[in-house]
């Protein structure tokens, strides 16, 4: 696990993004990009796929078709190895669509082959680039443009796919979750993952003011509420066996603090909110237990 | 044929406005076409839409390059010369601003009219969404469509009570729009700010996106860098005196910095004229 | 220089080794699966130092993997057949648009069956690649190595597909001469990507990309011209190979067989061209002067060569091993377009056969030769499809 703790004073001052970008005001994904690339350094080839336009960064880019994320990283990584340039790292900055859904097969295969790649996914919980359609990362009850609320629908009926655990079950060297509200934790994890060989994935909670429908000034506040309510736990898993919960408040905040400010959840009834609260509470107990035992069962 | 260009911000209904105009024209037995500029709009970013109205079916689909009329739904964008460029001779420019047309600095072989659609929208709809609030002024000032056609079109897009509220906005702006005043300066100056913020990647200047901007109180500031670390655009530079300062071309005015500052040393101030 | 009696698929793998391929990403599909196995053996044996071998989870990923490896600067290879090729359709287009000189073996498997016809590669005409069709195992080995030299030429910088028929060629063994590695090294220099995307070599101006800059027509015009340049480069490379290794295949674009003094010619691609050669011998023995033009490069199409040939023959009989439903035979249409402006109007006959692996025999080609000859001698042309 990453045992070091980065302090605010240690955060690198240099910007590795070329700002301003074409993202919306208050974009959580832009925050994730800025923080991630601060610690990745210069010797990387950055991969992208069709996605909300993150900032352009000061490294060469590569990329391929939407469904090709895992494969293009593999190709770059293997090519670099064949050329004897293992000093250069293949790094991805993807969205949830290219990770959970259309890109899932390629990433799962790359994980199974333990390709030497670092995948950083900014999760804004829908296909935001094309206007906000639901993805495998959309949480239950969230309204999106392809599951609007109506007499026949309460928004998304299915829970969010558990990507960190799924990839941990490939027994890869490092899986972590992070949030833009905890920037030092995020950067520390990226820094740690950068130097590990093999497949690594970091999933970053990236609230989207347009898609989740909240005041752009509240992006960080909302992300923090997500972590503090247990809806977005921060943890690390290595080799699918050792587990560490990074943020353990004495008491979780109620999920309503996270759900209420987002208009994508405004149709939820008290019963539905309680359902989510129960799910989160149960899951939290499981995570606490895993943290105590320092292991997960996968 | 009448060709109209509409200027607005992403997420504020300029595209809907273009379709309402097209619908109103069709109500009067004319043919119409409404073209949005898709793929480039981000919440807050300037965007453009186009409308064509003719007595025969509109066949061409290229963008409108030389409109007869330019409509601007946003008070800040209304200050940009781009709104008045490339019109046909004796073009008409209708702006959503709080001042009279004589005070506008826009230049060219154009006539300018103004209406405070934002205030009208706030009064009738309770929100500063100006797409319908400008359309009454459009009908009166240009005469391209009749007021009742606009109202019929609005009912198609906004049923029930919402439709009534929008119609109230339309009627108010119909009454309040100024008359046409020729632009003071007949020669248009070179463009300074590019309203084309389309596409992906890096942009040159996003200052036109701002409705608010951060004012930093250096005395209150404790130099904790919280604002700096959370800015999504890296639009706060960190000065030698350990205080932040806004980078003008990079700040979109999202307000995260002010919201996160632990000592409330940042205030989000409304941009002049917005 | 040595030789081995080997199946077509092994000739492909051997060529990869000779070309010092650095990255291969593959997935099994009949009838090219054994290429993937030969490559895995090359990897396991360590006989190709620095070789990275990836067992991809599907053909789409195979294409993307090698596309990325080419982009970063590693000479790469992949292979597939039929449905596997169709599965790669999406990223295949990018390999060409990104001007990456990948070489891919397409072991023909028709889209309606597991048996060979050319519908798989023909369905990818639009992708912006160069298409070569080969007839025997020796030609496979020679062509795959040469394909890298063609693809990597700076006048081209496009991916090249080398197609050959499944089963009858992929699994049939023939004696193949294997050139010496040091001779191949002299023939095929190392690959350098253009431009480099390594952080210490890439142009920083390329990072802050804009979108939709410049005239959108320009990349198409450049791509089109690069594909047309194929004719010049293919002829040069095949001539060079002929000098160095003593084997020629016509001029590289087409390979004529007994065309001198012929009254007419028939055309064929792939293994059927070999069968046709036997039919041609029989025709001449029977006093029927029919020649064969084996078409090797389908894209770019040998327009100049055929415009020249058409001047001195009475008819051309096209054998298409694919049919685009509603449109007909692709070679037939290319030929009509090629000869449309010529002063002399040469009758062109259309034969479609061998679809979904239907066996095409010497006798079938003999009859095609006869029919073409009749038209050359004045019989009225029926240009409708004659199904074999």
* Distance between C271 CA and the closest CA of chain A, angstroms: 33
Distance of CA C171 to the CA centre of its chain: 18
Q: What is the pLDDT of residues A40-87, one digit of tens each?
A: 999 999 998 877 766 788 899 998 899 999 999 999 999 999 999 999
Task: List the CATH number of the domain containing C296.
Answer: 3.40.50.920
Q: A227 lies in a domain?
A: yes
- Per-residue confidence (pLDDT) for residue A198, from 0 to 100: 98
**B interface residues, C as partner, C-beta within 8 Å:** 198-202
Above 70 in pLDDT, residue B39? no
Above 70 in pLDDT, residue B193? no
Whether residue B273 contacts residue B72, with contact meaning beta carbons closer than 8 Å, is answered with: no
Residues of B in contact with A28 (CB under 8 A): 232
Residues of B in contact with A180 (CB under 8 A): 230
Within chain B, what is the greatest distance between any pair of CA atoms?
67
Using the 3D structure, point to which of C245, C277, C305 is the last residue of a domain.
C245
Q: Is A124 on the interface with B (CB under 8 A)?
A: no
Residues of B in contact with A20 (CB under 8 A): 202-203, 205-206, 233, 235, 249-252
Angle at A212 between CA A207 and CA A218, to 5 degrees: 55
Contact assignment for A79 to C74 by CB distance below 8 Å: yes
Contact assignment for B234 to A26 by CB distance below 8 Å: no
User: Residue A111 is part of which domain span?
Assistant: 17-293
Count of domains observed in chain C: 2
Q: A1 lies in a domain?
A: no
What average pLDDT does chain B have? 90
* Domains defined for chain B, CATH in brackets: 2-182 (3.40.920.10), 210-270 (3.30.70.20)
Above 70 in pLDDT, residue B43? no
B191 confidence band (pLDDT: 50, 70, 90): low
* Distance between C166 CA and the closest CA of chain A, angstroms: 27
- Per-residue confidence (pLDDT) for residue C55, from 0 to 100: 96
Q: A248 lies in a domain?
A: yes
Contact assignment for A106 to C57 by CB distance below 8 Å: yes
Whether residue C260 sits in one domain with residue C239: no
What average pLDDT does chain A have? 95
Residues of A in contact with C87 (CB under 8 A): none
Q: Which of C146, C141, C143 is nearest to C176 (CA)?
A: C141
Torsions phi, psi of B192, nearest 5? -100, -45
Nearest by CB to residue A62, choosing from C51, C63, C68, is C68
3-state class of A29 per DSSP? helix
Q: What is the pLDDT of residues A96-135, one digit of tens each?
A: 999 999 999 999 999 999 999 999 999 999 999 888 999 9
CB burial class (10 A; 0-12, 13-18, 19+) of residue C121? buried
Q: What is the pLDDT of residues C45-82, one digit of tens each?
A: 999 999 999 999 999 999 999 999 999 999 999 999 99
* Distance between B204 CA and the closest CA of chain C, angstroms: 10
CA distance C192 to A64: 20
- Per-residue confidence (pLDDT) for residue B159, from 0 to 100: 87
Contact assignment for A221 to B268 by CB distance below 8 Å: no
Query: Which of B40, B197, B202 is best to mutate for the C interface (most C CBs within 10 A)?
Result: B202
Q: What is the mean pLDDT of residues C88-108?
A: 97
Contact assignment for B201 to A209 by CB distance below 8 Å: no
Using the 3D structure, point to which of C245, C265, C300 is the last residue of a domain.
C245
- Residue matched to tokens 């770019």: C300
- Residue matched to tokens 């309203």: B195
H/E element, B237: strand B236-238
Above 70 in pLDDT, residue B41? no
C24 confidence band (pLDDT: 50, 70, 90): very high
- Per-residue confidence (pLDDT) for residue A53, from 0 to 100: 67
* Distance between C24 CA and the closest CA of chain A, angstroms: 9
Contact assignment for C212 to B199 by CB distance below 8 Å: yes
Q: How many CB pairs under 8 A join A and C?
A: 135
Residues of B in contact with C211 (CB under 8 A): 198-201
Contact assignment for C199 to A70 by CB distance below 8 Å: no
Residues of C in contact with B199 (CB under 8 A): 210-212
H/E element, B229: helix B226-230
Above 80 in pLDDT, residue A151? yes
Residue of C nearest to B198 (CA): C211
Q: Is A293 on the interface with B (CB under 8 A)?
A: no
Q: What is the pLDDT of residues C316-353, one digit of tens each?
A: 999 999 999 999 999 999 999 999 999 999 999 999 99
User: Residue C59 is part of which domain span?
Assistant: 2-245
**A interface residues, C as partner, C-beta within 8 Å:** 18, 42-45, 56-62, 64-65, 67-68, 70-76, 78-85, 88, 105-106, 108-109, 112-113
Q: What is the pLDDT of residues C177-190, one digit of tens each?
A: 999 999 999 999 99
Contact assignment for A60 to C60 by CB distance below 8 Å: no
Residue of B nearest to C208 (CA): B202
Count of domains observed in chain A: 1
CA distance C133 to C139: 10
- Per-residue confidence (pLDDT) for residue C209, from 0 to 100: 57
Burial B177-186 (b: 16+ CB within 10 A, else e): bbeebebeee
Contact assignment for A219 to B209 by CB distance below 8 Å: no
Q: A272 lies in a domain?
A: yes
Nearest by CB to residue A217, choosing from B206, B249, B259, is B259
CA distance A213 to A261: 8
* Distance between B11 CA and the closest CA of chain C, angstroms: 22
CA distance A15 to C300: 48
Residues of B in contact with C209 (CB under 8 A): 200-202
* Distance between C228 CA and the closest CA of chain A, angstroms: 26
- Adjacent-strand bridge partners of C176: C4
- Per-residue confidence (pLDDT) for residue C207, from 0 to 100: 74
Q: What is the pLDDT of residues C203-246, one digit of tens each?
A: 887 776 555 568 999 999 999 999 999 999 999 999 999 999 99
- Per-residue confidence (pLDDT) for residue B38, from 0 to 100: 59
Contact assignment for A219 to B256 by CB distance below 8 Å: yes
Beta strands in C308-385, from DSSP E residues, in sequence order: 316-320, 348-352
Task: List the CATH number of the domain containing A265.
Answer: 3.40.50.970
Whether residue C70 sits in one domain with residue C49: yes
- Per-residue confidence (pLDDT) for residue B187, from 0 to 100: 84
CB burial class (10 A; 0-12, 13-18, 19+) of residue B159? exposed
Residue of A nearest to B210 (CA): A25
Using the 3D structure, point to which of C245, C275, C299 is the last residue of a domain.
C245
Contacts of C307 (CB under 8 A, 6+ apart): C338, C339, C342
Residues of C in contact with A108 (CB under 8 A): 57
Residues of B in contact with A31 (CB under 8 A): 230-232
Task: List the CATH number of the domain containing C103.
Answer: 3.40.50.970
Contact assignment for B201 to A53 by CB distance below 8 Å: yes
- Per-residue confidence (pLDDT) for residue C212, from 0 to 100: 55
Residues of A in contact with B197 (CB under 8 A): 22
A94 confidence band (pLDDT: 50, 70, 90): very high
Above 70 in pLDDT, residue B273? no
Contacts of C316 (CB under 8 A, 6+ apart): C264, C265, C266, C267, C293, C306, C309, C310, C335, C339, C346, C347, C348, C349, C372
Q: Is B42 on the interface with A (CB under 8 A)?
A: yes
Residues of B in contact with C208 (CB under 8 A): 201-202
Whether residue A256 contacts residue A197, with contact meaning beta carbons closer than 8 Å, is answered with: no
Q: What is the mean pLDDT of residues A229-236?
A: 98
Contact assignment for B199 to C208 by CB distance below 8 Å: no
- Per-residue confidence (pLDDT) for residue B192, from 0 to 100: 57
Whether residue C76 sits in one domain with residue C151: yes
C29 confidence band (pLDDT: 50, 70, 90): very high
B190 confidence band (pLDDT: 50, 70, 90): low
């Amino acid at each position: 696990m990453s045992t070091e703790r980065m302090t605010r004073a240690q955060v690198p001052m240099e910007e590795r993004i070329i700002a301003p970008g074409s993202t919306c005001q208050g974009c959580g994904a832009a925050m994730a990009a800025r923080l991630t690339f601060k610690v990745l350094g210069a010797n990387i080839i950055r991969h992208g796929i069709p996605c909300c336009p993150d900032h352009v960064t000061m490294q060469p880019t590569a990329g391929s078709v939407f469904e090709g994320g895992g494969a293009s990283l593999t190709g770059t990584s293997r090519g670099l190895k064949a050329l004897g340039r293992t000093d250069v790292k293949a790094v991805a900055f993807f969205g949830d669509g290219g990770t959970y859904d259309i890109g899932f097969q390629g990433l799962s295969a790359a994980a199974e082959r333990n390709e030497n790649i670092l995948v950083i996914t900014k999760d804004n919980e829908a296909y935001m680039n094309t206007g906000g359609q639901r993805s495998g990362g959309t949480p239950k009850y969230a309204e999106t443009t392809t599951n609007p609320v109506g007499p026949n629908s309460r928004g998304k009926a299915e829970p969010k796919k558990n990507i960190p655990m799924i990839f941990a079950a490939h027994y890869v060297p490092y899986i972590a979750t992070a949030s833009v509200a905890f920037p030092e934790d995020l950067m520390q994890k990226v820094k740690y993952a950068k130097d590990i060989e093999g497949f690594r994935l970091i999933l970053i909670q990236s609230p989207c003011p347009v898609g989740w429908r909240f005041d752009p000034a509240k992006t960080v506040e909302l992300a923090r509420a997500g972590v503090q309510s247990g809806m977005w736990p921060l943890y690390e898993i290595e080799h699918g066996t050792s587990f560490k919960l990074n943020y353990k408040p004495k008491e979780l905040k109620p999920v309503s603090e996270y759900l209420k400010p987002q208009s994508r959840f405004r149709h939820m009834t008290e019963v539905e909110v309680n359902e989510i609260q129960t799910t989160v509470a149960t899951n939290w107990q499981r995570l606490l237990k895993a943290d105590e035992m320092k292991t997960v069962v996968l | 044929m009448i060709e109209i260009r509409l200027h607005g911000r992403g997420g504020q209904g300029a595209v809907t406005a273009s379709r309402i105009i097209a619908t109103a024209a069709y109500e009067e037995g004319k043919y119409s076409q409404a073209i949005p500029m898709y793929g480039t709009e981000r919440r807050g970013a300037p965007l453009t839409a186009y409308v064509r109205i003719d007595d025969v079916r509109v066949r061409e689909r290229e963008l409108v390059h030389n409109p007869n009329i330019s409509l601007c739904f946003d008070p800040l964008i209304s200050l940009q010369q781009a709104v008045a460029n490339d019109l046909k001779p004796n073009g008409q420019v209708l702006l959503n601003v709080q001042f009279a047309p004589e005070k506008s600095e826009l230049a060219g072989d154009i006539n300018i009219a103004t209406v405070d659609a934002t205030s009208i929208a706030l009064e009738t709809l309770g929100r500063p969404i100006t797409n319908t609030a400008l359309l009454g002024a459009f009908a009166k000032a240009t005469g391209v469509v009749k007021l009742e056609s606009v109202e019929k079109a609005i009912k198609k897009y906004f049923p029930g009570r919402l439709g009534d509220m929008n119609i109230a906005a339309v009627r108010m702006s119909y009454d309040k729009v100024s008359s046409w005043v020729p632009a003071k300066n007949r020669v248009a100056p070179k463009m300074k700010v590019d309203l084309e913020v389309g596409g992906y990647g890096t942009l040159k200047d996003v200052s036109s996106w701002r409705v608010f901007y951060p004012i930093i109180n250096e005395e209150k500031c404790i130099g904790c860098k919280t604002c700096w670390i959370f800015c999504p655009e890296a639009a706060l530079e960190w000065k030698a005196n350990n205080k932040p300062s806004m980078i003008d071309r990079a700040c979109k005015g999202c307000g995260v910095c002010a919201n996160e500052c632990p000592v409330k040393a940042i205030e989000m101030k409304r941009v002049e004229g917005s | 220089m040595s030789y081995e009696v080997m199946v077509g698929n092994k000739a492909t793998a051997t060529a990869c080794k000779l070309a010092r391929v650095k990255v291969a990403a593959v997935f099994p599909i009949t009838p090219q699966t054994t290429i993937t196995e030969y490559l895995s053996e090359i990897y396991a044996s360590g006989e190709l130092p620095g070789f990275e071998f990836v067992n991809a989870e599907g053909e789409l990923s195979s294409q993307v993997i090698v596309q990325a490896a080419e982009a970063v600067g590693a000479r790469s290879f992949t292979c597939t057949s039929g449905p596997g090729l169709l599965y790669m359709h999406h990223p295949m287009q990018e390999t060409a648009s990104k001007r990456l000189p990948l070489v891919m073996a397409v072991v023909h498997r028709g889209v309606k069956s597991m048996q060979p016809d050319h519908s798989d590669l023909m369905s990818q005409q639009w992708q912006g690649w160069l298409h070569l069709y080969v007839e025997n195992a020796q030609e496979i080995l020679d062509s795959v190595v040469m394909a890298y030299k063609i693809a990597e030429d700076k006048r081209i910088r496009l991916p090249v597909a080398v197609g050959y028929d499944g089963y009858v060629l992929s699994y049939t063994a023939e004696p193949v001469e294997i050139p010496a590695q040091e001779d191949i090294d002299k023939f095929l220099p190392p690959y350098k990507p253009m431009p480099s995307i390594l952080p210490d070599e890439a142009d920083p101006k390329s990072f802050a990309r804009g979108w939709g800059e410049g005239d959108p027509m320009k990349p198409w015009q450049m791509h089109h011209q690069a594909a047309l340049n194929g004719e010049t480069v293919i002829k040069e490379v095949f001539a060079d190979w002929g000098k160095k290794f003593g084997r020629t295949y016509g001029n590289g674009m087409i390979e004529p067989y007994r065309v001198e003094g012929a009254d007419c010619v028939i055309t064929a691609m792939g293994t059927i061209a070999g069968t046709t050669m036997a039919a041609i011998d029989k025709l001449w023995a029977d006093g029927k002067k029919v020649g064969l033009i084996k078409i090797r490069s389908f894209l770019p199409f040998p327009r100049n060569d055929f415009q020249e040939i058409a001047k001195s023959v009475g008819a051309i009989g096209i054998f298409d091993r694919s049919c685009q439903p509603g449109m007909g035979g692709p070679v037939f249409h290319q030929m009509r377009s090629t000869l449309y402006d010529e002063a002399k109007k040469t009758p062109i006959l259309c034969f479609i056969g061998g679809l979904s692996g239907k066996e095409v025999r010497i006798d079938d080609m003999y009859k095609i030769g006869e029919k073409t000859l009749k038209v050359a001698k004045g019989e009225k042309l029926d240009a409708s499809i004659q199904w074999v």
